[in-house]
Amino acid sequence: MQAAGGAPLSGADPARANRARRIALLAVLAAVVYVLDQVSKFLVVEFLEHEEPLTVVPGALVLTVIRNAGAAFSIGTGMTIVFTVIALAVVVAIVRTARQLRSLPWAITLGLLLGGAVGNLTDRVFRSPAPFQGHVVDFIQVFPVTRFPVFNVADSAIVCGGVLAVFLAWRGYQIDGTRQTDEQPEKHADEQTGERAGERADG
């Protein structure tokens, strides 16, 4: 069937289907990150909390459970409620942005950020000492001699998503699947120069 003027009624379907696939990828990746984060936290709390740190790779990887009242990597302890509100805002912003999503790289980026944000937000809402003031479970310690902060799966996803977001923005990749480059304004400037030269020649 065709609409008035001979345009096919299904003309917008490919774009809509592409957006649906990207949103589905975002949701699946966020769910995978969330499940990995929550399952790993449950296991380490169940079996490692109040125990001696477990050395997985000597000098490189140790599992040790701590409760973090701050942001990722134990930054800003004592501001739990503030970070809870920020995490809620981030989740809402990602969900709203997803309505314009048509980019595969951005689907992966937002999926990592959403899964990580929801993972730590779950801790802040439901864990002790109080609702919306809960302490996040951290347990991954790399290269202990460097005193690098202890973190968790959600933190890792947030950092990876943040790095990807910076890279995509730097390269000009947009949420809607388009790419902004420096060539576009240069081309526009060349066209304007040509028009002015033509006007002077006519004069």
What's the pLDDT tens digit per position in 62-113?
999 999 886 655 555 556 677 788 889 999 999 999 989 999 999 999 999 9
The tokens of 96 are what? Answer: 């709203």
Q: Which active-site residues does the annotation give?
A: 138, 155
Residues 121-141: tens digit of each pLDDT: 999 999 998 888 889 999 999
Q: Which residues on neighbouring strands pair with residue 173, listed in sequence order?
A: 179
> Residue 13's pLDDT band (boundaries 50, 70, 90)?
confident
Quick one: what percent of the chain has pLDDT higher than 70? 78
pLDDT at 148 over 70: yes
Kindly indicate the confidence band of residue 5, based on its pLDDT and cuts at 50, 70 and 90.
Answer: very low
pLDDT at 56 over 80: yes
17-26: long-range contacts (C-beta < 8 A, 24 or more apart)?
18/102, 18/177, 19/101, 19/102, 22/101, 22/102, 22/103, 22/104, 22/106, 22/107, 23/98, 23/101, 23/107, 25/104, 25/107, 25/108, 25/111, 26/98, 26/101, 26/107, 26/108, 26/110, 26/111, 26/114
pLDDT of residue 12: 55
